[in-house]
Structure 1
């Protein structure tokens, strides 16, 4: 995926539809490390985030090209910028290249690689093999794996909430907190999720309860901010590969393929993992950098202050009234993201 670095921060205009029956709308399209960000060219408000490995062309053989974030999506994006089209095609080629194909020469090469890795594995601890494999998984494949884990997770929680106005508000909040480049993709799940969690590929899952019971977007923003910090503090691929087992980890290392059976049940297991503790100093620095007050989040997740009291006491915005993270109407829309 190193060939894709030349496309980072690439921007162009495009024509976007939320649903097939809607009129096309001009948007600004930004190419990130693992996401495609669509925003309003006038206001800069984020309208949608797409996972790059999920993007596919839906009108092969026709011009201009039209893309969608997966075959089941109702959204579509028409592009005429040759650089952006080339970037998306390069992503698809990279994803396909990760799929092993039959062939004698390839088999011999993989066999030789496998033998070498097995020899090394005799001297490595299993944890070392897991850590090494996690370190070489490229960003686009991490995003693809994260989406597969999300698919496994929704078997327990139900499909992500998808009210269109709510999704736009959620994308806007994410961009406000994390900035316009390589913004994580946020999902709200309707049930079965008691606390925020993160998945590989910069995917952050938020519980419906947190949004509906919060008095403002600051608590939601804080939850997303803390999960991003946790994902940066400890590679989310590590617990996933430990769940998958050494055989699947070895297969990922040697063939760039992770079987579905290795991911089965990991979504539910991730729900049971306790959140990684974070030092108050690191958390407060993240809140200050993002210009988000820490107290609303701290009170929302720990009302008695037994764990997050330090965040309240040392909140960099304590006693101040920072500007709203998103407009009031966007917050109302976000609270209704799980409504039909």
Structure 2
């Protein structure tokens, strides 16, 4: 039986705190929810304001009895808490994470020697794939989130591409996701939470990434006639994340040496990013690696699979994959609760106009 960690103990804890988005802005009250090593900030109308990883936060000086945190090195954006339980939870989990980071640093110090050994063994062509997968399996979630941010930023920086609702790609780092897409993602569920962002770019209906980001293409909204089509696309991306499909694509494309460099540096070289984006886009259409997990999510959410199967067919997915998605439909002609009600669907449909 797995021992309870500080993270397990404080799941779903909530508290009211003061959030200042910029040095010259007024503080405002927000509700802080403690999640999977993250803090989610919601305003008093339940609208998401920010989604922070505890590992990326810095503690800054504050009044006695308060905990002040910032995601910025210069402390421009701050969150001030005085709730004792929430402060204890954050400090306990950050302490656990500090211990884990120390262990990872020790492991990374061994990587130069390990890399030499890996290169020698990698001369055996038959072992390159399994060794790369082994190295890839050691890469932590924070690194994969950083890779996703690198790739999403590269995609948004291509000619004609842009984020909907945001002026710059900086929102990719801070935003918890587009509100209506986030509502659909919460309905779909999944083992690892994603931040669905809406963007216009030349690429697949959804850019599925190896970490907490996914980019839903505005062309998907333009082609969709009902929210269940978008719910199906989000489920397919969530299934790929839960199954590690996009991480496997990155490892396969980088190979043994590139994956070892990623493990050591935590970054994908800029010159590699277009090639990796192209590989992820192809795999999204051609591969059903995450489909079993996605279909289970749709069945649990009581949502049909037929709408997304038709979208994937139009996108060029293999016929056998489309048929498998259709045959997994557990709704049929039965009534179901829509993925979004009409007002929210209209808002989402017009979000990139």
Per-residue CA distance 1:193-229 (angstroms, 9 max, x = gap): 3322311124322111212332332111111101222
Paired position in structure 2 for 1:329: 343
1:144–1:281 distance in 2 versus 1, CA, 3 Å? closer
Paired position in structure 2 for 1:121: 122
Paired position in structure 2 for 1:260: 269
Q: TM-score, normalized by length of structure 2?
A: 0.73
Higher relative contact order (CA 8 A, sep 6+): 1
Q: For 1:74-113, what aligned pairs fall within 5 Å after superposition?
A: 77-80=79-82, 81-86=86-91, 87=93, 109-113=110-114
**Secondary structure of 1:264's aligned partner:** helix
1:93–1:4 distance in 2 versus 1, CA, 3 Å? farther
Paired position in structure 1 for 2:145: 143
Checking the alignment, whether the CA contact within 8 Å between 1:53 and 1:95 is kept in structure 2 is no
Checking the alignment, whether the CA contact within 8 Å between 1:202 and 1:228 is kept in structure 2 is no
Paired position in structure 1 for 2:194: 184
1:192–1:309 distance in 2 versus 1, CA, 3 Å? same
Q: For 1:175-214, what aligned pairs fall within 5 Å after superposition?
A: 175-178=186-189, 182-214=192-224
Paired position in structure 1 for 2:237: 227
More deviation in 274-283 or 288-297? 274-283
Checking the alignment, whether the CA contact within 8 Å between 2:196 and 2:213 is kept in structure 1 is yes
1:263 Cα offset (Å): 4.1
Q: Structure 1: which 5+ residue stretches go unaligned?
A: 101-105
1:136 Cα offset (Å): 0.9
Determine the C-alpha separation between the residues in 1 that align with 2:237 and 2:273: 23
Paired position in structure 2 for 1:32: 36
- Aligned Cα root-mean-square deviation (Å): 4.2
The answer to whether residue 229 in structure 2 is matched with residue 215 in structure 1 is no
**Secondary structure of 2:188's aligned partner:** helix
Per-residue CA distance 1:44-67 (angstroms, 9 max, x = gap): x6725636278434x732354555
Determine the C-alpha separation between the residues in 1 that align with 2:291 and 2:111: 46
More deviation in 117-126 or 138-147? 117-126
Aligned residues: 327
More deviation in 225-234 or 215-224? 225-234
**Secondary structure of 1:292's aligned partner:** coil
Q: TM-score, normalized by length of structure 1?
A: 0.75
Q: Structure 2: which 5+ residue stretches go unaligned?
A: 167-174
Equivalent in 289, 304, 325 of residue 293 of structure 1: 304
